[in-house]
Copies of this chain bind each other. A is one copy, B any other.
Amino acid sequence: MDDVGVESTRPDPPTLQTVAAAAGVSRSTASRAINGEPRVSPETVEAVQRAVRELGYSPNPAARTLVTRRTGSVALVVPETGDVLFSDPYFATVLSGITAGLAPSGNQLILLIGQHPGDGNQMISYLRGGHVDGAMIISHHRADLDADALGKIPVPVVLGGRPVGATLPGMPYVDADNAGGGRLAAHHLAGTGRTRLGTITGPLDMPAGIDRLDGWRAGMREHNLADDATAGGDFTAASGATAMARLLDEHPDLQGVFVASDLMATGALQELSGRGIRVPDDIAVVGFDDLMFASTATPPLTTIRQPTREAGRLIAETLLAMLDGRTPEPAQILPTELVRRASA
Residues of A within 8 A of B (CB): 10, 13, 56, 58-63, 65-66, 71, 81-83, 85-89, 91-92, 95-96, 99, 103, 108, 110-111, 113, 115, 125-126, 128-131, 152, 154, 292
Contacts and interface: CB of A to CB of B under 8 A. Distances in A.
A130 B95 CA distance: 25
A154 B10 contact: yes
Nearest to A84: B92
Contacts of A71: 62
A66 B62 contact: yes
Indicate how many identical chains form the complex: 2
B99 A115 contact: yes
A255 to B, nearest CB: 27
A74 to B, nearest CB: 12
B56 A152 contact: yes
Contact of A58 (B65, B110, B128): B128
**Which of A10, A85, A130, A152 gathers the greatest number of chain B CB atoms within 10 Å?**
A130
Given A86-B95, A111-B113, 20 more contacts: A10-B154, A58-B130, A59-B129, A60-B66, A61-B129, A62-B62, A62-B65, A62-B71, A82-B95, A82-B99, A83-B89, A83-B92, A85-B92, A86-B91, A86-B92, A87-B89, A87-B92, A99-B113, A108-B131, A110-B111
A296 to B, nearest CB: 8
Contacts of A56: 152
5 contacts: A58-B125, A60-B66, A86-B95, A111-B111, A111-B113
A115 B111 CA distance: 14
A86 B83 contact: no
Given A66-B62, A83-B96, A110 B113 contact: no
A130 B92 contact: no
Contacts of A86: 85-86, 88-89, 91-92, 95
Contact of A60 (B58, B81, B126, B130): B130
B99 A92 contact: no
A89 to B, nearest CB: 7
Given A62-B130, A126-B108, A82 B87 contact: no
A115 B92 contact: no
A284 to B, nearest CB: 23
A216 B325 CA distance: 59
Contacts of A61: 62, 129-131
A90 to B, nearest CB: 9
A110 B86 CA distance: 16
A16 to B, nearest CB: 13
A123 B254 CA distance: 53
A91 B83 CA distance: 9
Nearest to A98: B82
A205 B91 CA distance: 27
